[in-house]
Amino acid sequence: MNKPMPDKSVHTVWHRATVTRQRREKKNAHKSVVIWFTGLSGSGKSTLAHAVEEQLHQRGLNTFVLDGDNVRHGLCSDLGFSDQDRKENIRRISETAKLLLEAGVITLTAFISPFKAERSIARSLMPYGDFIEIHCFCPLPVCEQRDVKGLYKKARLGEIKDFTGISSPYEEPENPDLRIDTNLLTLEQSVQQVISLLQARNFLSAAE
């Protein structure tokens, strides 16, 4: 069981840095943004996020991927998969992504993030327009056929509890910034859709 969050100290005061996000963006010659990939396990979130990062990195841009499995090896290693722990997992990731946004980094997150409320909170933490929600859509039967990690099989056998799509709900985004049908498009086509969106919103150009 998680320990209750301690109350914020009245003696904690926000320190305003002289090196601002705007100055970092100017140095980087591009703007920062949070790109939030959401979808079922096996929908291609991590694969797409890392493929997009590779393209951006080759262009000389500053990037970082926050991957669901990787984060649970460290930052969120104390969390399970109950609804409460899933919410805390997304809360921590959201705050981390916010810090990276301020650092001038293009941050890509790859998390199932099954609940609309938590994704909405993540968006609300970022300045307007700096959060891009991308729904990696793939029908559940196709995800199960892929079963990249063998998790669906274990979930069907009851070996994994609270598994999204099987014994725990996934609330699809109603109005994502971009929906990619990963079961129909190639990885290259999917990457290009993301890059095109970033270009259209001027995130890949020099910050003014």
| Closest to 87 (Cα-Cα) out of 113, 125, 65, 120 | 113
Distance CA 126, CA 97 (A): 9
Distance CA 90, CA 68 (A): 10
Distance CA 135, CA 112 (A): 10
Does the annotation mark 113 as catalytic? yes
Which of 32, 94, 113, 190 is catalytic? The answer is: 113
Which amino acid, one-letter code, is at 17? A
Is 76 exposed, middle or buried (CB count within 10 Å of its CB: 0-12, 13-18, 19+)?
A: buried
Query: CB 71: neighbour CB atoms within 10 A?
Result: 19
Collapse the DSSP code of 80 into the 3-class scheme (helix H, G, I; strand E, B; otherwise coil) and give the result: coil
Active site residues: 113
